Chains A and B, each alone.
Chain A
């Protein structure tokens, strides 16, 4: 008899299990390509263990998505209350539940197939109006994958897979039902999204940084779909949302703390960030027209190995027009931090770092200075918590940890290392002149 369930060993989840139909997706070209895309771009230059790929992360996301789904749809009034059934009638239909489980796992498997070489690093080198989510969407709708969706019984609607894989923020043209929104949150959500759960655990494991670990078993076991009051001021109307039982709140807090620390220590590490900038500078000259192609065949052939080979060739060829910038990466001669965001200067002018960058560029020349800016986009996670006495409350009303987590923000001005001492002296002499309160009419547009 042919085997229908297959197991893949995984350092985070021990085994990832998938059925034969999911294995067809795994064997497709878009998915196999992920074996050649580093999960964390050039982070391995700072944390040598970070050589893992999007391939295993996507398998992990599928595994966790199935686990969360099984918990939040468990046919038990402790898990799915009558109130939730009245808000999402779909959840009580057995035939639909198995359909949506399949859609969710397929969406989880495919959620990253649009990633460019070196993952997020070079996303801005896509043409206007393109991002990796749009490429993911194109690939899910492509003939190769559409043939798989069509052959399933019942066939899967590719629109459903797209919605769950990229979420409402990146599929603004598609209307989401409450049920679809919740399912997409299982993959891409800020707190209970399994994409985040897997990357924190996996990146932490591979970088050797312990901060990313949290009790995901407890968190998954306590996730529920809960009726959240529609308004902040406690109105009677309710909307269904992913939330957590009070007993799992500390696990949710631990995840958010893990995220905060791993962002600070790994994703926003200053050396990692400058390598990203150098790589973008290289790619801007290497790619035709300075942009990644968006047609599917070109995308499928575009991998980290291809670009790494070009990078090395340029670094060893003194006549190559990209020799210098390639050498900064290959010979580890990256620019260094000359100035970084700090509360004192922010209080004077929220654009302090940008002002330093602009003046430094004028003084030292644009080829010697680089600027990096990041502020996280999501606010503090406001999700429903079911207290021990059965009340539904806002996470922000009972968690000091969540309330006090500062938004992640960085600003770096990087300087060619040969000019670093000069830069520091220059900044010391001119700091007060550069960082002044903004004046109307003179600010940056």
Chain B
């Protein structure tokens, strides 16, 4: 996917996350973009690793900075102690209008992700995205309980109960995403 199409996808994702009551800090965008790429097969081509708060892409961070430099995204400072929120600019709406095919091709997938993650905070997103990472990258054949245990091994601050719930949620999300794609 070239840089203009990637810009259309990411700015639309930010808009939809904001519409769905997401705080929309960088961590939220990272997790949503991971799910969008891995589960909804939107070919943004970012490389994700397991990092501080679960799957994270340095390439995506660089792209978000580039979008700010190009005036397509902006940061909205928040009152202390909170970090900033990300917002799409008017210029990004113009770009989306110029790419109707890309917009239409991926819009329903972006909607699906934003609605599925509606109102979720970073702690929940970390669990969910890590559950997906475990399922896709580490134990694709594992039983739910094996995967939950692996999640706890990777993120010791997550309880087994929380991990099991996250695995169950991600299995449901994968099933729904697949039917959406079909």
| A interface residues, Cβ below 8 angstroms from B | 168-169, 172, 175, 178, 181, 229-235, 237, 239, 343, 346-347, 350-351, 375-380, 382, 387, 391-394, 396-398, 403, 406-409, 437-441, 443-445
Contacts and interface: CB of A to CB of B under 8 A. Distances in A.
A442 to B, nearest CB: 10
Nearest to A379: B65
A229 B77 CA distance: 17
11 contacts: A172-B49, A231-B25, A232-B85, A239-B52, A350-B70, A379-B64, A382-B83, A397-B79, A437-B94, A438-B95, A440-B100
B26 A232 contact: yes
A393 B84 CA distance: 12
B56 to A, nearest CB: 9
A230 B123 contact: yes
Contacts of B75: 380, 396, 403
Given A168-B49, A396-B84, A409-B69, A231 B123 contact: yes
Interface string B17-39: 00000010111100000000000
B23 to A, nearest CB: 4
Contacts of B52: 178, 181, 239
Contact of A394 (B4, B5, B82): B82
B58 A406 contact: no
A232 B28 CA distance: 9
A170 to B, nearest CB: 9
The winner among B47, B49, B79, B81 for most chain A CB atoms within 10 A is B81
Nearest to A391: B81
Contact of B58 (A169, A175, A376): A169
Given A346-B70, A350-B3, A438-B4, A235 B83 contact: no
Q: Is the interface of A mostly helix, strand, loop or mixed?
A: loop
Residue in A438, A441, A444 with the greatest tally of chain B CB atoms within 10 Å: A438
Interface of B: 2-5, 7, 23, 25-28, 47, 49-53, 58, 61-62, 64-66, 68-72, 75, 77-85, 91, 94-95, 98-102, 121-123, 126, 157
A259 to B, nearest CB: 14
Nearest to A181: B52
Contact of A445 (B2, B79, B94): B2
Given A237-B157, A409-B69, A232 B82 contact: yes
A396 B82 CA distance: 8
A229 B83 CA distance: 10
A377 B63 CA distance: 7
A407 B62 CA distance: 10
B100 A233 contact: no
Nearest to A178: B52
A379 B4 contact: no
A445 B102 CA distance: 14
B27 A346 contact: no
B130 to A, nearest CB: 13
A121 B61 CA distance: 23
A231 B61 contact: no
Contacts of B4: 350-351, 438, 443-444
A407 B63 CA distance: 11
Given A231-B121, A394-B82, A407 B68 contact: yes
Contacts of B81: 229, 234, 391-394, 397
Contacts of B62: 375, 377-378
A441 B99 CA distance: 9
Given A172-B49, A350-B7, A409-B69, A397 B77 contact: yes
A234 B82 contact: yes
A217 B49 CA distance: 35
A188 B126 CA distance: 25
| Smallest CB-CB A-B distances: 4 pairs | A232-B25, A231-B122, A393-B81, A377-B62
Contact of B26 (A168, A229, A379, A391): A379
B91 A375 contact: no
